[in-house]
Amino acid sequence: MEWRPSPMKFSIGVRVVLANVIGCAGGLMAAETGPARPKQDAKGNPIRYAATGHASNYDEAKVGSFVLPDPLVLQNGKPVKDVATWNTVRRPELIAVYEREIFGAVPARAPKVRADVVATEVGALGGKAVRKHLVLRFGEGERAVGLNVSLYVPTRAAKPAPVVLQLLFSNPPGIPQLAKKPFDDAVPAEDIVGRGYAYAAFRYTEAQDDNAKTHEGGVQALAYAPGQTRPAAGEWGTIATWAWITSRVLDALATEATVDAKRVALVGHSRLGKTALWVGARDPRIALVFASCSGEMGASLARRDFGESVDDVAANFPWWLVSTFPKYAGRWNDLPVDSHTLIALNAPRPVFVTGGSEDLWADPHGQFLALVGAGPVYRLLGKKDVGATVLPALDAPLISGSLGFLYHTGKHTITEADWKAFFEFTGRHFE
């Protein structure tokens, strides 16, 4: 299916009309009462029913109009006209909003971390790489939490190599796999190393789990005060926890003389794409972010109410975000930010976003529009935006600027085409 939407108006701080899009999924099936309610629409897209009564929408005509918060307007209503005001006033304002309203802040009691190289393998990946097995230990004693990290460095690297750091659902190459994996990860380690990059990866749940009881252990529990049993009001949800863990992995990589820690491209898919965007927003050492199919509270616009919704996240994954986030269920237009501001917080560093033609749940159209919405910040900082305002044709990457996008043919996954475009995009910024 090739989706070629008709032209539409799109600007920050003004009303946006999203209608008459050609080739989108069929309209939402009418919800029935009782157990007979459909679980999918006519095209197989999942339908979920939130406690608020909200049902998943896949009809562009039902998106309607919305107004995006202007990232270049201060909380006092004054415009941001220069780089200094963005860096010293507006950006800190937005970080504070995200910590308070969306992801939560890192607690002052966050544990100390140490990293050790426990094994080195020369001639890994068919002789192309030297592999190091790093173990990060969070906290001390019996309660300490471990994290295994695999690092592959090209054998013939003449200078410190730029790094592709990937957040994985499964164990990274070289670490024994779990008996059961929630997803099949695309891990092109050999290809990455063959292109001259180092490759590092870890499993996201090893140091902090991902379920309704995640607060009972892991890194979060190490930060509790006496008598505390879950993150306090305003403290990190699991996305912010995974983001903090990622920054600690970056600390460890920065001690490796064979890698260029100033050129780290962070890759995350789905909920890990959400995480990658927040890591990039919080940690300026990340030089580039690749967020694949990141969906709601990632790169897709919450105000579009298309596919996965605020209500879905609040109902099904409340532990991902700050404990007060569910107040926005049914009130997504009250959010003080949206995904375009999350992307903008990565500026001026490059961001590459992908979405699939068969993954309307993650709303690839909304992800593209978020890139458009982040454009004014990138232009203010002297960088080129995504270069279009209308969703591009399938499999036609937009990678000439600092904001890149690929609308790939396929499902909720990182495709071979995504990786190809990512390497070209990254090469433009790392070479």
Contact 360, 407 (CB under 8 A): no
Catalytic positions, please?
A: 270, 412
Residue 30: alpha-carbon gap to chain centroid: 32
Residue 177: pLDDT band (50, 70, 90) is confident
DSSP state of 110: P
H/E element, 378: helix 364-380
DSSP state of 99: I
Q: How much is the pLDDT for 77?
A: 98
Contact 298, 167 (CB under 8 A): no
What is the Cα–Cα distance from 383 to 397, expressed in whole angstroms? Answer: 18
Contact 115, 255 (CB under 8 A): yes
pLDDT in tens, 237-290: 999 999 999 999 999 999 999 999 999 999 999 999 999 999 999 999 999 999
pTM: 0.91
pLDDT in tens, 33-63: 455 788 888 888 888 888 888 889 999 999 9
Q: What is the mean pLDDT of residues 108-112?
A: 97
Domain ranges of the chain: 113-430
pLDDT in tens, 317-338: 999 999 999 999 999 999 999 9
Strand partners, 79: 73
CATH architecture of 113-430: 3-Layer(aba) Sandwich (3.40)
Q: Would you state the structure tokens that stand for residue 291, as one six-digit string?
A: 């967020």
H/E element, 424: helix 416-430
Q: How much is the pLDDT for 16?
A: 35
DSSP 272-290: HHHHHHHHHHH-TTEEEEE
H/E element, 351: strand 351-356
Percentage, residues of the chain above pLDDT 90 = 83
Task: With CA atoms as reference, report the closest residue to 160 among 284, 287, 250, 261.
Answer: 261
